[in-house]
Every structure is written in structure tokens, then in C-alpha cells.
Amino acid sequence: MVKFTIDNIPVEAQKGETILEVARRYGIYIPTMCYISKTNPCASCRICSVEVEGVDGFVLSCNTPPTEGINVTTNSQKLEEERTNIMKLYDVNHPLECGVCDKSGECDLQNKTLEFGIARQSFSAKDQFREVKHWNLIDYDPSLCILCEKCVHVCNEVIGDDAIEIKVGGYKSTIVPKDADTLDCTFCGECIAVCPVGALVSSNFKYSANAWELKRIPATCAHCSAGCPLEYEVRHSGIDGDQKIYRVKNNFEFSNLCGAGRFGFDFDAKALPHQKIAQKAVDALQKADAIEFSSIITNEEALILQKIKEKLGLKLVNEDARLFKNFMESFASASGKRLYEADLEEVKKSDAIIVFGTQIATDNPGVRYAITTASKQNGAKVSYFHPIEDALLQNVVTQFVKMEAGTEEGVAALMAKELLKDSKLPKELQEYFESLDEGYLEAESNVGEEEFAQMSVFFKRAKNKTLIAGADLFAHPRAKNIAKLLGFIQRYSDYKVLIVPKEVNTLGVSLLCELDEPVEDGYIVGYNTKGDYTISSFDESANLVVPALNQQEGTVTSIDKRVLPTNVALAFDGVCLNDIANLLGIEKRYTIDYTKELGRANEAFADVEFDTLENFLGRLGEDIRGYKLKNSDVSVNFSIEEVEELPEFNGVVVYHADPVLQFNAYTAKTAQLPKENTLRGSKQFAIAAKIENGEKIVLDLGDMKIERVFELDEDLKGTVAINPTFDVEMKPNRYRFEKSKIERVQS
């Protein structure tokens, strides 16, 4: 703790804090142009300079930690003069196109120019012609760019694409794609978000609306379980008063969005007259044997479905949530806690991370960004256990452990043995690990002593360790035993475990609904999934169309075990689940009347009124949205099954995983997101499957066939190809690796 004063106010700095950070924490204003809280200081604008008593010259506040007893002055005539001079320089030759610039009204340059009263330009530099660059979803206008470097820092330090850099050249400096002619990245659009001026903009939004006309609706992203905060920006779209979402923005100072969150906002549902008749849905439900539903719903919808189940005595089927629930229950029976321990903040703080059973970069970009942050800021070492190496993670992964598909149980056992080798274990577990047939497991899984030895070299100095486990495991035939092993790791090692729920509300649904096994025969009502009678916000051909997640009030439960509110960005003209429930005699005025009953349904939730839930980040970035689930103790059961014989995946094997920016039927529906639905495989795969790049094929998975074009991907290695699922309805109880047949389509 360092004590000093800022403008005569006594303040205290925590370890690692800079003068600027302390000032902000105490609410003392220091102007900045290039500072962004979530990265290392860019230190390019120099406006945050302050004076320190007894020190000649100015001291930069953004990257200088204070020393004991100094007296800092944040404003003086001299500082004001120099800051004004810097603003004068920023304004030299800056195009006077504020009238049409996307950023006008929310532009840092505009604001600071006003703040420092720069009314005229008294000197100039020779102007230069600079071409606007079109990089797919992003446009870059170098003449508007003030080279603050925020975009470059964020892309590298938080996102991990490292796709842009500064081409330094004094006055000619620009932002350029790194080592490439055009921008080749995951198009998260964070560069657009952090750009303080109109240099980096969304190419589709450009020139379509003024910032001040757009109404901001705070919401939670609907595409994966990361629960990223965002704001839908809405305005009328024509003369008839129709509203449209024009763009999505985020509080980029502290949080991130991936491209699906940012560009994939137009998934709102529209009901035709015949799709608005609630009574038909009621009839269908009354004769139904089961409701099959997706986890892309709110907690409140989940609770209503549970009530309908109770009322009508039908079954509730959601294999995504049921498998997750089983997994978590088994995990809890070993860990002694109902929920996993880690969250995204924990990942960001880590200096050692194991990723296991997930293609995390695309499964959950929020987790990816947390790993990137840990890697860059803390130098975290990352061991990635998977059958397929992911090129997106090359800059952060320090050890790729190529394991055989299907051998997750064996790897989990070996991993648990390794991570628990210095822990004091109960006798049952000691005996269990002693009796493991390591030779066999190592031979079959391809993971062994050598890999763990390398990992322990990397992790030697680590103090904050995290294990991230994901969706490959949930539908694994041995999921329960895998979960149990991970549970023991959390209980007995210094690793904190993070389990990545698949869909936006898998965790919430798994806690709120009593779920049944799939029904073989019988009449099925589908809710956001296909059924004999379909109620859906995804499917335009549904029997009844209900509002999508950007047309609803309610809450979802994120990977951070946080219950997050989301709001209505666009009105929905039609029927919602609550209307149907009311007709069934389950009466509540609004869907959000169920928010305060969530705690009664499951004790992890709280009984809180929807309207009292906050939906913003604190001034210093604290996540105060909604509330955290309560994690409670459960009894531990030490019995654990022997590892079964490990399966072999020979021949043509595919892995079900979506490409960047795609997650589900919502993202599949949007206009801006690319719909790359090819089967991607390596050269080795192409040879084994006897197919060529660009060839049309049919993927035969036994119970379903999918038409695909095969794409040869030079970044991929190994014999497993990647099959997207966003454009096909695929049962979530399929293990993600599958042997398949490939048939060539005769053209």
C-alpha cells in the first residue's frame, strides 16, 4: 500500500496500480485519449501527464506507479497549456466531416476538442491522401485515425487475434493488417468498439444512423454461455414506425464481445397471423407426451416449462441441459460443491491453464478472451488437451497435447492422478490411482508421463491454476466418471475448475427443470426445437412463433454462475410462452413475474424482482449485473468407477464444432455473419476420405445425413475433420467425435 496525495486528497494505491488508476478509483478526473482499462497502457497521447511536487517536467500518470508520499497535481495552467497543445496537434488536418461521421456525438476527439476549446487551427502540416480500407465487416479510414493504438492493444492482448499492427512512419503511420494484405481475423469488431474516432467502423452500419438517434437497450448476449453485456441500439427504420436494431455496442472499457454478439443481432422473430394463435399451442400441449426444448431460453421460460410439466404431467426433454445436469451432479458428488469454482475473472488471473474437452476458442469466445488476457498479462502457460490443434490459439497455447478422440476418460484419470500426486487423498482414491493401468491408458490416449512432465515444467512457478473443461465431455458415454475425476481435482488440488455450459442458458435450465430422458414415441411439442407441433423463435415455419431473446425480458444464467437480466430491444407482435401458460391456468401477468420465484424453484437462485436487477458494469468495471448463484455444499461420495476400455476412433472421423462467429439457429439467421458450413479437414483427412477440396459430399452419421462441401484447410492437421452444426438441427446428446461415412455426390 502506497500513500500519497492527488490534488491534496490523501489516497492509497494498491500493488501494481498506476497514478491514473488510483485517481479514477477516487473519482478524480485526469483527461486521456489513448487509455483503455483492459490493456496495458498505450502511452501514446501524453494528455494524462500530471505534475509531481519536486519532480521537474511532467510525469505520465497512465503507466507510472506512485511512490510513497508524493504530491500529485492533476491540473495546473502549465498542464492545461500542454494538453491544449496536444489537442491542437490532434486536430491538425483532421477531416471536418463530423456531419456524416459515424462517431459524431460520441467521439472522444470531438469531446476533447470542445473540452479544451480548440476553436481554430493556427498551423498545419502538408496533407496526404489516404485511402479508405474495406476489410469485410470493418472499414478503416486512416485520415480519421489518431493512432491512439487502442485497437492494436485490444486485438493482441485481449482478443488474441493479433491481426493488426501499427505501420510506424511518423506522420504517415497507419493501422495495417499484421503480416497480411487484408484483414484476416475472427471479426470480433472490438477494434471498432474501442476506436475513439470514426476511423474503424462497422461497414454495414456506416452512414445509416446518427449516434444520438439510437436508443440503447441493455441486454445479455444470446449466443453462448459467456453472458457478455451488450446494448442493442434501436431506431425506427421507416415511416411506419417499425423499429430495427442498427447495431450492438458494448462497454469496451472493461468487457468484450465476439463478432457474433456484435454483428449477429438481427435474429428477432416475426409471427405471421396464423402463427399467433395460442389456443392451438394449448391444444397441442394438452395432447403431448413431452415438450422437447432448447437451452436458448430465459430462466423464466424454463420455469414456466417446468410448471407446465407439473400441471399437465408431461415430460420435459432437453438433452443439452440434462447431460450437463448429470455431469454437474457427478462433479458435485466429488467436489462437495454444487457448482464449479472458477469464473472468467479467475481465468484472467491465472498463470497456468489446462483446457480439456472443448474447442474453446469457438465454443465460448468469452473464455478464449479470458485465456488470452491471462497469457498476455500474466504470462500464463496454457496446456491444451484435444485431438485437434486450434490455430486460433497458437499465440496463447504453450503446450498442445494431442490426445486420441474418445479417450477423455482415460486422460481425465491420468490428469487427476498427476494433479493430485502431491495431495493428501482418502484411501479409496489413493488405491484407485495406484491401480490405474497407466501403460494401457497412455498407449491408447497418447497422453502420458512425457506430456505431464513437460506440463509441470511449464507450471512450476504458477500460483493461480485453472482447469477448463467443456462440451466434448458432456455427451461422452463416460461423462459421469469424467465429471467425478474433475470434481476430485477441484476438491483436492490447487486447480480451480471451470465447466463451460454449451448454450446461453444451459446452466439455468439444468438447475430449474426436472428433465426426462428422450421419448421414443409419442406426440412431441418442440419449444425452440422441432416437434410434432413446433413453438419457436428460430424457425420461420413453426406452428407458433414466439419472441426471440432480443424481444424478451427475463434472465439467463451465465458461465460466471451469474443470473443476468436481458431486455426487449424489439417489440414482438404475437404470443409468448407465458400467454400459453395463462391459458393452461398457470397464471402470471408477465413472464418476469417468475423472476422472483426462481429461488423457490432452486435454492441456488434468489427471489428477486426483475426490475431491481442492475444491468451495467460499475465505474471501475465491477460486474454488478444481476446476482451470483449461491454455491452450496453437497455430500461427497468417494466411489468411482474403473476406467472403461478406451474406444478407438479409426477411419473417417468428424468433430462437431461451429466455425468462428456461428453458434446456433440465431446466428445462422443473421445477415452479416458468414455462413461457412463446409466440412473442413486436413490434407491427411482428404487422403483418408478420398475427397478433394471443393468437392460436394454427404456426411452419413447413421441416423442422419448432412450435405456439405469439403474444404481443405491448411491450418488443420491430423485425421479428424470439423463439421459445423449451426445450420442443422443436431441432437445435443451426440458425442462430438463421430465415425462417419462420406459419400461423394455425383455432379
Q: How far is the CB of 43 from other proteins (least distance, A)?
A: 6
- Among 12, 29, 65, 215, contact with other proteins (rule: CB under 8 A): 65
Would you say 351 or 553 has its CB closer to other proteins? Answer: 351
Q: Rule CB under 8 A: say whether 704 interacts with other proteins.
A: no
Q: Rule CB under 8 A: say whether 714 interacts with other proteins.
A: no
Would you say 43 or 709 has its CB closer to other proteins? Answer: 43
Q: Rule CB under 8 A: say whether 585 interacts with other proteins.
A: no
- Among 8, 123, 439, 639, contact with other proteins (rule: CB under 8 A): 123
Helix (H, G, I), strand (E, B) or coil at 228: coil
Judge contact between 96 and 72, C-beta under 8 A.
Answer: no
| Beta strands per DSSP E along 168-221 | 174-177, 200-202, 215-220
Site for other proteins in 32-51 (CB under 8 A): 33, 39-41, 43-47, 49
Judge contact between 254 and 273, C-beta under 8 A.
Answer: no
Q: Which residue has the cell 488510483?
A: 22
Would you say 67 or 693 has its CB closer to other proteins? Answer: 67
Instruction: Give the closest residue to 524 by CA, choosing from 274, 287, 249.
Output: 287
Site for other proteins in 4-33 (CB under 8 A): 16, 33
Which region among 64-72, 183-191, 479-487, 677-685 touches other proteins (by CB under 8 A)?
64-72
Interhelix angle 438-445/408-419, nearest 10 degrees: 130
Which region among 123-131, 187-195, 490-498, 533-541 touches other proteins (by CB under 8 A)?
123-131
Instruction: Give the closest residue to 269 by CA, choosing from 589, 590, 528, 595.
Output: 528
Q: How far is the CB of 369 from other proteins (least distance, A)?
A: 14
Q: Rule CB under 8 A: say whether 55 interacts with other proteins.
A: yes
Site for other proteins in 79-118 (CB under 8 A): 82, 85-86, 89-90, 92
The full DSSP string for 586-597 is: ---SSGGGGGGG
Q: Rule CB under 8 A: say whether 345 interacts with other proteins.
A: no
Q: Rule CB under 8 A: say whether 124 interacts with other proteins.
A: yes
Site for other proteins in 149-208 (CB under 8 A): 149, 153, 156-157, 162, 165-166, 168-173
Site for other proteins in 412-441 (CB under 8 A): none
* CB neighbourhood size of 664 (10 A): 25
627, three cell numbers: 446476482
8-state DSSP, 747:
-
Q: How far is the CB of 660 from other proteins (least distance, A)?
A: 20
Q: Rule CB under 8 A: say whether 73 interacts with other proteins.
A: no
H or E, element range at 499: strand 495-499
Interhelix angle 299-312/278-287, nearest 10 degrees: 50
- Among 31, 66, 261, 387, contact with other proteins (rule: CB under 8 A): 66
Site for other proteins in 373-412 (CB under 8 A): 376-379, 381, 394-398, 400
Number of residues near other proteins (by CB under 8 A): 63
CA distance 303 to 322: 15
CA distance 139 to 154: 17
Contacts of 160 by beta carbon, 8 Å cutoff, 6+ apart? 368, 369, 371, 372, 375, 376, 392, 393, 395, 396
Q: How far is the CB of 412 from other proteins (least distance, A)?
A: 25
Q: Which residue has the cell 442493442?
A: 232
Judge contact between 588 and 308, C-beta under 8 A.
Answer: no
Q: How far is the CB of 458 from other proteins (least distance, A)?
A: 7
- Among 14, 67, 279, 612, contact with other proteins (rule: CB under 8 A): 67
- Among 120, 424, 427, 461, contact with other proteins (rule: CB under 8 A): 461
157, three cell numbers: 492482448
Q: How far is the CB of 79 from other proteins (least distance, A)?
A: 10
Q: Rule CB under 8 A: say whether 126 interacts with other proteins.
A: yes
Q: How far is the CB of 384 from other proteins (least distance, A)?
A: 11
Judge contact between 20 and 32, C-beta under 8 A.
Answer: yes
Would you say 209 or 370 has its CB closer to other proteins? Answer: 370
Would you say 358 or 372 has its CB closer to other proteins? Answer: 372
CA distance 507 to 225: 8
- Among 458, 696, 701, 741, contact with other proteins (rule: CB under 8 A): 458
- Among 10, 57, 99, 439, contact with other proteins (rule: CB under 8 A): 57
Site for other proteins in 533-562 (CB under 8 A): none
Label the pairing between strands 215-220 and 229-236.
antiparallel
- Among 6, 23, 36, 70, contact with other proteins (rule: CB under 8 A): 70
CA distance 354 to 476: 19
Residue 50, beta-bridge partner list: 59
Q: How far is the CB of 282 from other proteins (least distance, A)?
A: 58
CA distance 470 to 347: 14
Angle CA(718)–CA(723)–CA(724) in degrees, nearest 5?
140
Cα-Cα end-to-end distance for the chain:
73
Would you say 127 or 609 has its CB closer to other proteins? Answer: 127
Q: How far is the CB of 118 from other proteins (least distance, A)?
A: 13
Would you say 175 or 524 has its CB closer to other proteins? Answer: 175
Q: Rule CB under 8 A: say whether 58 interacts with other proteins.
A: yes
Label the pairing between strands 243-249 and 229-236.
antiparallel
Kindly tell me the burial class for residue 122, based on how many C-beta atoms sit within 10 Å of its own C-beta (0-12, 13-18, 19 or more). Answer: exposed
Q: How far is the CB of 85 from other proteins (least distance, A)?
A: 4
CA distance 31 to 432: 61
Would you say 1 or 125 has its CB closer to other proteins? Answer: 125
Residues that bind other proteins (CB under 8 A): 16, 33, 39-41, 43-47, 49, 52, 55-59, 63-67, 70, 82, 85-86, 89-90, 92, 122-126, 146-147, 149, 153, 156-157, 162, 165-166, 168-173, 351, 376-379, 381, 394-398, 400, 458, 461
